[in-house]
Amino acid sequence: MLLRPTLIDNSRATNKCMTLNRIGIICLVYFILNHVVRCYYMPLRAYNFPIIALHWFIDPSFLEMVIVIGGCFYIRSVASRFCALNDAWKRLPQDLEEIPGEWTQSEITMSIECLRLLHADLCEIIKVFSLGYGMILLGYITLSFISLLMFTFMYFAVNYPSFDLSFKSIIVWCFPLIHSYCQYSIFHMSIVVYASLTNEKKREIISYLRSYRISNLPFHTKLQIKMFMNQMPEFESNVMSAYGIFNINLHFVLTNLILLFSGILTLIQMKDHPTISSISKTVMVYFIKQYGNLYNHTNS
């Protein structure tokens, strides 16, 4: 069963694909420039394959960029399909009444059935995403959270060389930390915004269904509306989530912030613990070994 061509508008989908392509290009340029600048200001002491490979997988890593861009592209594609479905519903005749020469009642009924089945398929796609790609997002979100938490702690726990307290020196010293937090926020908020948009567009059609007085509709049209309304609660739980562990929405952002600050405070309180002290010394030794030139320059 196919929708009438008058219900389909491909211009919006094309514009959204172009926007996503631009975002992908911008992220790629950012990734390259970031590593070029890092190699210029923080040159490695030795160049071999393991070190170079590790250097390209540190923050921002290529794998991280692929996960974020791929996830946003997939989620935005699903949201675009829900938008197209909602737009198609808006193009149905007002009050779902027959229009002589344009719409017959059977065409209206078949279009509603087609939109209902498409909505069910899109809800199943969300479920597949949550169980498939959601596992990757769960690993990414967890590891990036731990990485930012440890980076923040190490940034203040390790005894850095003394420097003057001028505004410029403080900004230069804090820039890597600010950069990490900005990148973390942008990547995570991109996923949250697209996921929230998808969930919102999925529920938008409910308002259209409730606006009709089905008592005045023909039997078959009324039946399709009732079936549509009955299937909505079944797919209510199909939302963008990270493998079902947690839903990707604004509640996740607030929880993430609370856990981040709680973790930082906990690590600060445990700074003198033998395990934490050992980790700090190990990281400092590795930093001096890999970036000794920068460390010596800072000391001087």
* pLDDT value for 299: 47
Q: Considering the domain boundaries, does residue 221 fall inside one?
A: yes
Q: In this structure, is residue 256 part of a structural domain?
A: yes
pLDDT, greater one: 16 or 109: 109
Number of separate domains in the chain: 1
Please check whether residue 106 lies inside any domain of the structure: yes
CA gap 100, 78 in Å, rounded: 35
Each residue of 134-187: pLDDT tens digit? Answer: 889 988 998 888 888 888 887 776 655 555 566 666 677 777 788 888 888 888
Entry pTM? 0.80
pLDDT at residue 292 above 60?
no
Contact 297, 163 (CB under 8 A): no
pLDDT: is 72 or 174 the higher one? Answer: 72
Mean pLDDT to the nearest integer, 37-52: 69
Residue 49 in any domain: the answer is no
Q: What is the pLDDT of residue 23?
A: 79
pLDDT confidence tier of residue 21, bands split at 50, 70 and 90: confident
The residue-averaged pLDDT of 185-211 equals: 89
Distance CA 86, CA 48 (A): 54
pLDDT of residue 122: 92
Answer yes or no: is 37 within a domain: no
15-29, 60-74, 152-166, 233-247: segment of lowest average pLDDT: 152-166
Tokens 């992908």 belong to 24
Q: What is the pLDDT, as a whole number, of residue 4?
A: 64
Amino acid type, 142:
T
Mean per-residue pLDDT, 259-263: 87
In a domain, 141, yes or no: yes
Provide the residue range defining the domain that includes 263: 58-289
With cut-offs at 50, 70 and 90, classify the pLDDT of residue 300. very low
**Residue 62 domain-assigned (yes or no):** yes
| pLDDT at residue 298 is higher than 50 | no
Please indicate, yes or no, if residue 103 is contained in any of the structural domains: yes
Residue showing tokens 């307290």: 165
Long-range contacts of 15-23 (CB under 8 A, 24+ apart): 16/76, 16/80, 20/72, 20/73, 20/76, 23/69, 23/72
pLDDT digit string, tens, across residues 194-203: 899 898 999 8
- Average pLDDT over all residues of the chain: 80
Token pair belonging to 296: 């010596």
